[in-house]
Structure 1
Amino acid sequence: MHFTQLLPANDCMTEISQIVRSIEQTSKPFPEITDYPNEPGIYAFSLLAGSNMNNFGKSNQIIYVGIAKDSLRARDLGNHFRTGRTGSSTLRRSIGAVLKSELKLTARSRNGTSDRRAINNYIFEPSGDERLTTWMIKNLKVGYWKDLNRMNYKLLRDFELKIIKHFSPILDLDARSKHLNPLATELDQLRSICRTEAEIKL
């Protein structure tokens, strides 16, 4: 049983409302971020006004929700927005799969081997990976809720799921909620194209 199941329903809803409000109030484009917390928490990426990602997002739509169990700064600024980190960022792999043709991306094995995990966690060739980062910086904003109490990881995951269900991010492939995403199958297919290419290019 998750701890949230032990909380009164009103308390749980209040916490969720606070998380949603914080994400919305802190949401900024990457160039405008002057400080970013080192605490754990929940974050959400959305498209800037005027941006779109084909069928996978329109202006101001939240496209991805995730958690940072140690540091929001390390996870978002040091991973998702950083060239060379695609192999450890589901967000980068999904955006790259959706914009593969537009950004002229070529997928590669994460470590150059045929290991299944290295293929599944594919990367893009360096110049393409840089184009992906440039696109993300120009088109995305990110907001967060920081967990000042450093709650139990399972409880943080439980709140993450509730926030995913609240925002319905179109890049959601979380096993707990992907059945709610109408484009999950299409996104899986696009990522499969990248995995196949990574295997062929060995």
Structure 2
Amino acid sequence: MSASTSWHLDDVLNALSGKRWPITQARGRVRAVPGLYAIYGNTDAWAGLGLDPQPGSALYVGKAEDSLAARELDTHFAADPAKKPRTGSSTVRRSFAALLRDTLELHAVPRNPDKPDHFANYGLTPDGDARLTEWMHQHLSLAVWERPIGLTQTLRTVEGEIIRTWMPPLNIQGNPQPLPHLRRARQTMTLEASGPQMPTASRRAFETARPAAALPVRGPAPSAAGRSLGPTPVELARELGKSPKTVRQALRDKYGRLPFDGDRWGALTPAQEDYLRARFR
């Protein structure tokens, strides 16, 4: 029986900010073991995503419970040319696709065209998937931290601490400062993927609840009153000292069951934020 192992934040940060490989050179270097990974982009990548270039900072941090090689190289980056890209199975690819939609002329489609549902987990047309893969191979690099044998903490715990420390712009969940226009860009792709399959009532609720979804993805989207979209329910709950469950229930009481965007609720509209603040003050 192996002894338990603890982890140290500095060790993980050093690994994830240390040696990194271009995607096309990572095969054979990234092993089939559990761990965390950090995705980096060159200056052109940051600019292409609509971000101020910070090539020394990670764009995204994630975890692989079973195999870093399989999760990152095969699923996210389609590094094996014999395997088809799987944007519908990769939240990382969906985020890159949403931000590069106009630049690469990408179009969202249902993940499974034969059984269209779960539109927030959209895929791309084959030619679009190929363009996204080529862009990722040209502009991104990867660093990894392998989970030590005997580690007692979950990878989710370690991942969460790294995300809170670094606040990578493409991470949504657990990020104290999520990128507002990423949510809107993904919502736009969700609507495109749904096509006529999304019931009219659900589409109307989606667009009403998130009026910025169809707006251009660059920069903050103002409301009709000139205000930017506010915090997510989770963030506002933390500020108000309430549980996220209580805040989400209050939203349902007022507005009904709003659509779920695949990760968690998006940014609140000004009216929704004002309602919650008035209810819980």
Q: Contact 1:105/1:128 (CA < 8 Å) preserved in 2?
A: yes
Whether 1:134 aligns to 2:128 is no
Shift of 1:50: 4.4
Structure 2 counterpart of 1:200, from 195, 200, 219: 195
Whether 1:39 aligns to 2:33 is yes
Q: What pairs up with 1:85-164 in 2 under 5 angstroms?
A: 85-112=86-113, 113-115=115-117, 117=118, 119-149=119-149, 151=151, 155-164=154-163
Deviations 1:58-107 (A, max 9, x none): 23331110000001001100110015210111110000000001000010
Further displaced range: 129-138 or 185-194: 185-194
Q: Contact 2:85/2:133 (CA < 8 Å) preserved in 1?
A: no
Further displaced range: 94-103 or 48-57: 48-57
The residue aligned with 1:29 is 22
Q: Contact 1:65/1:160 (CA < 8 Å) preserved in 2?
A: yes
Unaligned runs of 5+ in 1: 1-6
| Superposition CA RMSD, Å | 2.0
- Measured in 2, the distance between the counterparts of 1:39 and 1:148 equals 10
The residue aligned with 2:72 is 76
- Measured in 2, the distance between the counterparts of 1:100 and 1:43 equals 25
- Measured in 2, the distance between the counterparts of 1:114 and 1:150 equals 42
Q: Contact 1:57/1:170 (CA < 8 Å) preserved in 2?
A: no
Q: Contact 2:172/2:178 (CA < 8 Å) preserved in 1?
A: no
Letter in 2 for 1:145: W
Which has the larger share of helix? Answer: 1
Q: State TM-score, norm by structure 2.
A: 0.61
The residue aligned with 1:60 is 56
Unaligned runs of 5+ in 2: 79-83, 198-281
- Measured in 2, the distance between the counterparts of 1:51 and 1:84 equals 20
Shift of 1:31: 2.4
Number of residue pairs matched? 184
Q: State TM-score, norm by structure 1.
A: 0.83
Structure 2 counterpart of 1:17, from 4, 7, 10: 10
Identity level (%): 32
* Alignment CA distance shift 1:189-1:150 (3 Å): farther
Task: Specify which structure has the bigger relative contact order, considering alpha-carbon pairs within 8 angstroms and separated by 6 or more residues.
Answer: 1
The residue aligned with 2:226 is none
